[in-house]
Structure 1
């Protein structure tokens, strides 16, 4: 934690503690901050707006039977943000990844997104994502950007479980509680409309939502319907290094003498063909040092343009024929259009004698110069990829919630289904080559790509046939081409359903609660749940070949805006570069695609997991004086049927393996109400999180010659953990609190990739059973996460208030990289103002660096510290009409990822500032 962060946070918390005089005044019956409206008795205060949402959330947290954090909508369907993930990121222990500018995935209590869960009104939600998104598509996480806040009442983060709650999360479960028609006034109308502008995309778009809720005078039946429409513009330029190699690879083709020095041609070395390093011919010591230095091989300039368009409908029909029976049918339907164009211009990483000069410093090759490919010679020194992806997302969920309370019983049911699909359908791929010489290198956030001719010259980007010459079709492509041969070169393809994910579930549960008089035991809870889930991934491949000579200059090219790369540390003439937009890519494939080969179903990219889960629980709620809580256990049976293909010598065999896992998961929560304003909590539980679907059923390939292979692992066990939590909460004034929380996650069966020896397979090609060394995901390690959070909120004088939290998390694990997505330090400070019709808020959030993933060639990729500064202001023109202005990412923060050390970048992006203006009407 930096000194600046510490000052920010300690100032906020010390200020909150110093407001005890305000707390005392409020407890004595004063009205608190100006802008509150006093009604009813002298002590009864109606608080509206942002402070009302905080007060509602705090009250839910205070009443909870476990350790939770909560966000509440400040009005009908209105959260403080347009994105639920960004609102949740202001809670202690919750961090969000913002690779595309808006929050999409949450890590909680130092645990990666794949090990957390999302439910809506207590039921699961299927998940699929758009093609091209690097998010964890095969995990059980959810893209929060798909959820509109239109009908949300609260989002509750269960950091410690109860036996009655669904299993499947190690970090936490987030439950979205939706509005119900009988909760609102009859004929409630809420409409919001406005626009937003991204200063990097230099484009604007429209957003809007509408809600109507009705019920009859007897409040026995009601209907709620809401629709939302969102459109966002992204024009994201960036820098990427596709992998790192060492200087030794750049020198390997140069001849050496017996002392290890490079041999130069000519008497006395007067005609030098070997490279210079740091401006001179290298000696043995320089060669050794350079050989261990890292070089940014395949250094890219990227551009990604997307118009995200989402429309969603949600509805609820609620019937309450008697005072003790309520039945609610809900539906959520989301359609997303995430079409995007991406292109990447990158250098090739050469091993050989093309390098003529290089410089290096502190273990990094800061520049290397390579000669071009002579005319009349086949070859290339770089590449330009242009892709257009047509992507659609569908997400549908329907559920029936039953709540019946006869006598001392409470009987509830939750039945329904959820289905989601997403992926590229189709994807248009087209690439070019260049033969130019170039200089490229990196030094931390500064990178250089300098071609012999500017990258904006379209005539230097050649068709693959022009640059590389022709070749015959492979045997498999010739077979797919009806046995006909073709002499040419592949220039791209139009794969159908590339990475197409289908995720669906049918669920049903019944819960029973009985009030009892058994000493301290006040109620008994029991019930069961059954789930049939299915997750699959499919790709249908395609390749397009040409035998024609052409360049990018022969097409309808354009040159990128030079301002796109401002602030990204780029130099050289690699930017701006010439490229194609969507229509140009499609037109080029049609014009020059001489032969189209349908490769069909891609067995190597296929998986299908059918999962059936049966669970039952028993829980006792107890209270004795100031002590209360719950204790119970949940038994879970998980049966996975993994379907994939076993590959050998280019042939595939469908394979099915079924495994079953049984778990007993005890949970206990102990709560001590020290006084009316102080609550202590302690919790302990066993929890699980299930493996990624692709890990369970990834295609397995075998090589008999080396007796090796790679693929998924249907024998994976679930992640398992012992979770412990302690918290102390002081509710020192209405709508105000200070809280401290300590959490510990002792995780076993952590899944990572490794080589497993002596794995037995019967090769379906040879019929021989033997053992192989398989690179696959395995339950490789144990890990523990220890951390604490401090959080608080209070209303100050003259309408001001402040919300703040700080979280520290640390992991102990045998995994060298540490745990994915774990930031050691996270701080959030939200000062706000609310007085009469005016509301204003500023939000600052910072998370420290975190391990992101294992990249190409086993690169250990990290994401650097990230700051987010947002602001909003609103004014109520009347009781029914409000105007609001918002700004997000005011710092235009750089999303910076690196390989092991910060001087070796892997990705550098800026997503731009977003400004929005809207108006709301409610009645």
Structure 2
């Protein structure tokens, strides 16, 4: 079995079809020589046949006149990959060495049919395939499963520099020989094979970067740069190849953020036991119960290194060693203000009731009420008695990603034996610090609140005066600051052994593959939570001028300036910092281990059904044996009461079938059928739990579930395709997935608490009780349709030579209730946008190229990091982002030949991030504005030079 990025022509093509495809393949090879790592990525289609049995390749030197570079070359290679695959795939190929067609890998992938990116902190980070979140997608690097730097399996693509990735293939239908497949699809990132190039290549590139929001706060920045260099060479009569690449990113990301916390009427809050009605507000009117506004400035630094050593001394032995490393640092500063104005909040002037408890007293004046869909909403007025808190936060993160793979193939006619060893490791160290300050007295705030997602307006008192703004706890959190430090490590060690045999005696079976992959994965996370309390219980002002910076403006919300300082510089001087963890904090510590053995068989099929119809593809199965275990703490009242280790095992047989009917003249029909699975998110498998016995002697608890089995599904795919020339096609794809099981939170009765320590002081009647955890439940269907096209302008008219367009759109729907039977009717499966669409128009001629790309995704529920590191599903509104690229390559006869100039604008339309939240009572069915954040535009100006 060849590695996924091995450049081998499928050997099971029938002799009668070789002549029919020879010209098209010759042209594609000529185009590919201009690309970094010009190899077909579908090694599953390649039978790794000895070179003497492969069809003779034309002499590419005769095709110099048709060699093209740039956008059209990239498209031609991608279309060729899609055309030749036995599966239903989408592909991206670099325009040249270190030159993917977008700023980031995630941006490029998200433009493929049926795929969408989820923005995190303003940048594309994770990929949703066919309406399913990143947790359902498999990610490979050179055909090998990758670890993740996040809490679970979803890979964060911003860890991989675009300059070091040469091509990407997204498999939408399973293949028996792909290990580490996802349920929604599989993304395979590829680096170069240096022996696929015919000569030495040395490339340098650099770009300056600017964010249109400017410098928002002290310590932040709005300018940055990118730099990369690549070296590819061949030695010893092209038997040894070396590729080296390095890329550095120093990039600013800025944001202006506004959030409306939650909406409820007086009737609703009173029904929930609010202590007293709020004066001045109509009881039936729905009002906002809290707000926040801040700016964030992030400095991102990423260093990536890639190396490949390839050795092919003869036709028998082929060895490839590839190494990848990246280090990603993020330093984030957040400054702003927030407050609660709900009927439970009691400010410092709150009177006391008979029991000595403060009586909440945030009231309203001059209230303006607007009708919205038949319900009254408070949209303007004055808040009396609020206590705004000034936040100065600092969050740091360091990620390290290592990946190494060594592949050796040995060809002994008619057999090819392959051994692949790989290692992947991800480390993350993260620290989040928040500190609090504010005026000592309750405040009066005039407000105007929008009922659509946009910035609100608030007139706040001056929150930047160091003589009036004190360090203390205005919102009564119970501490004056909070810091959480966490560390996690994710490791995969794997070995793969496979054998391919060419079959010459059959009219339809051209070869078959058998193999086994042994995979051991371990993910460990630890977290510590600290509370910062002011020394000696004092409420100090910042009297040391050296600790203060220029005030930060929240003028985009009308809030004025806020006090600005470096929170980490204050810790030792003003605060006592002590470890203080709740049950939720203790449950963040866990170890999950998985041993997965994958045995597979695949038959590679190819036959001429008639003079005009060729049928090719593959059929096979995988048997996956999984053993998993987790170790975690049991906690009571934030105190570790013991630990436990829980394990489970299960097995799955996963058949798959991929067929391609080639009718000639570019017409094809593809069919795929398979059983698929995706193991549950790793953090769901944690054995950490909280359990106790109540006063009635009953056990109850909550936590993770190490006995979780995978999501399982049956999938059917059908694709109709017409290929036109070398860079044009039209395709219509239909897909249907029936999920037999889906994982959601459930209350499990009959849970055995025998091994749980009991520190509650109560004696249980039985060791059987109820446990609230993730569990396997009923699933449902995912189904959809995708339409895509890539068209060159000269197809329409010769005058349009150089022009072209790529467009795609998809519609997806699901019957799955992610909350289980009886869940909310408004909750959809995470990552599901019913409509996803992309359009790119380009012009490329005489060295000049221009590209304008727009991507759109419909509303969806996204999964994001939330308060205190938890994960949260949020209703995310539609996004439409426009990007632009302009470049010029100096011609061969120019003294500047080899130099390219590049100008790019990312997020040209300043597309905001917007979320909604349900109205508190749930009876109205309304989704109301929650977050509105703008990130500005990224401008990049740079060059690329090839020696």
With the length of structure 2 as denominator, give the TM-score of the two structures: 0.81
Counterpart of 1:513? 500
Contact 2:623 2:652 (C-alpha < 8 Å) held by counterparts:
yes
Runs of at least 5 residues in structure 2 that lack an aligned partner in the other structure: 1-22, 35-58, 216-221, 344-359, 609-613, 794-799, 819-823, 891-895, 919-924
CA distances 1:643-664 after superposition (whole Å, capped 9, x unpaired): 1111235442111100112111
* 1:504 is aligned to 2:525: no
Q: Distance in 2 between matches of 1:912 and 1:405?
A: 55
Q: State the alpha-carbon separation in 1 of the partners of residues 519 and 814 from structure 2.
A: 33
Match of 2:8 in 1: none
CA–CA distance in structure 2, aligned partners of residues 728 and 865 of structure 1 = 29
Q: Render the CA deviation track for 1:333-376: whole Å, top value 9, x for unaligned.
A: 1011111112341111422443234554434443574432xxxx
Alignment of 1:275 onto 2:279: yes
Deviation at 1:460, TM superposition (A): 5.1
Corresponding residue for 2:260?
241
In 2, the alpha carbon distance for the partners of 1:42 and 1:911 equals 47
Contact 1:298 1:347 in 2 (8 A): yes
Once the 2 structures are TM-superposed, how far is the Cα of residue 560 of structure 1 from its aligned partner? 5.3
Mapping 1:224-263, distance limit 5 Å: 224-248=243-267
- Taking the TM superposition and a 5 Å limit, the aligned residue runs for 1:326-725 are 326-351=318-343, 352-357=360-365, 358-360=367-369, 361-362=371-372, 363=375, 364-367=377-380, 369-372=382-385, 381-424=387-430, 426-434=431-439, 435-439=442-446, 441-446=449-454, 448=456, 450=458, 453-459=461-467, 461-464=469-472, 490-495=479-484, 498-516=485-503, 517-546=505-534, 547-551=537-541, 556-558=547-549, 562=553, 566=556, 570=557, 572=558, 575-581=559-565, 584-593=566-575, 595-599=576-580, 603-625=586-608, 626-649=614-637, 650-697=639-686, 699-705=688-694, 707-725=699-717
Q: 1:465 Cα shift?
A: 6.6
- Name the counterpart of 1:189: 202
Q: Is the CA contact (8 Å cut-off) linking 1:688 and 1:719 kept in structure 2?
A: yes
Secondary structure, counterpart of 1:405 in structure 2: strand
* Distance apart, 1:832 and its partner CA: 0.6
Q: CA deviation at 1:443?
A: 2.0
Bigger drift between 345-354 and 204-213 goes to 345-354
Cα shift at 1:845:
1.2
Quote the offset at 1:913 in angstroms: 0.5
1:171-225 CA distances to partner (integer Å, 9 max, x unpaired)? 1101112101212244310110121111114421111100111221411112111
Q: CA deviation at 1:168?
A: 3.9
Does the Cα contact within 8 Å between 1:61 and 1:68 map onto a contact in 2? Answer: yes
Change (3 A) 1:155 1:651: closer
Paired position in structure 2 for 1:117:
138
Q: Is the 8 A contact 2:596 2:624 kept in 1?
A: yes
CA distance in 2, matches of 1:468, 1:30: 70
1:869–1:412 CA distance, 2 compared to 1 (3 A): same
1:604–1:242: structure 2 CA closer, same or farther, 3 Å change rule? farther
Which residue in 1 is equivalent to 2:186? 173
Structure 1 unaligned spans of 5+:
1-25, 129-136, 257-261, 263-273, 373-379, 470-488
| RMSD (Å), alpha carbons | 3.0
Offset of residue 733 of structure 1? 1.6
> Cα distance, 1:89 vs. partner?
1.2
Partner of 2:43: none
User: Aligned pair in 2 of structure 1 residues 190, 720: CA closer, same or farther (>3 Å)?
Assistant: same
**Higher RCO structure (Cα 8 Å, ≥6 apart):** 1
Question: CA offset at residue 247 of structure 1?
Answer: 2.8
Q: In structure 2, how many angstroms separate the alpha carbons of the residues matched to 1:688 and 1:858?
A: 23
Deviations 1:269-297 (A, max 9, x none): xxxxx6233xxxx5xxxx3x33xx3x433
Residue 223 of structure 1: aligned partner: 242
Pair 1:558–1:89, CA change in 2 (3 A): same
Q: Count residues in correspondence.
A: 818
Partner of 1:755: 747
Measured after TM superposition, the shift of residue 858 of structure 1 is 12
Structure-2 separation of matches of 1:389 and 1:528: 43
8 Å contact kept, 2:884–2:904: yes
- Tell whether the 8 Å contact from 1:870 to 1:888 is kept in structure 2 after alignment: yes
After superposition, the Cα gap between the structure-2 partners of 1:146 and 1:64, relative to the gap in structure 1 and judged at 3 Å, is same
Contact 2:552–2:563 (Cα < 8 Å) also in 1: no
Q: 1:212 aligns with which of 231, 237, 240?
A: 231
The match for 1:784 is 781
Instruction: Provide the rounded CA distance (Å) in 2 between the counterparts of 1:765 and 1:416.
Output: 44
The answer to whether the 8 A contact 1:829-1:843 is kept is yes
Partner residue of 2:912? 894
Check if 1:841 corresponds to 2:823.
no
**Which of the numbers 807, 821, 829 marks the counterpart of 2:839?**
829
The verdict on how the C-alpha distance between 1:337 and 1:42 changes in structure 2, with shifts beyond 3 A counting, is closer
Deviations 1:564-612 (A, max 9, x none): 664xxx3x4xx2331334xx2123222212x332459963320110111
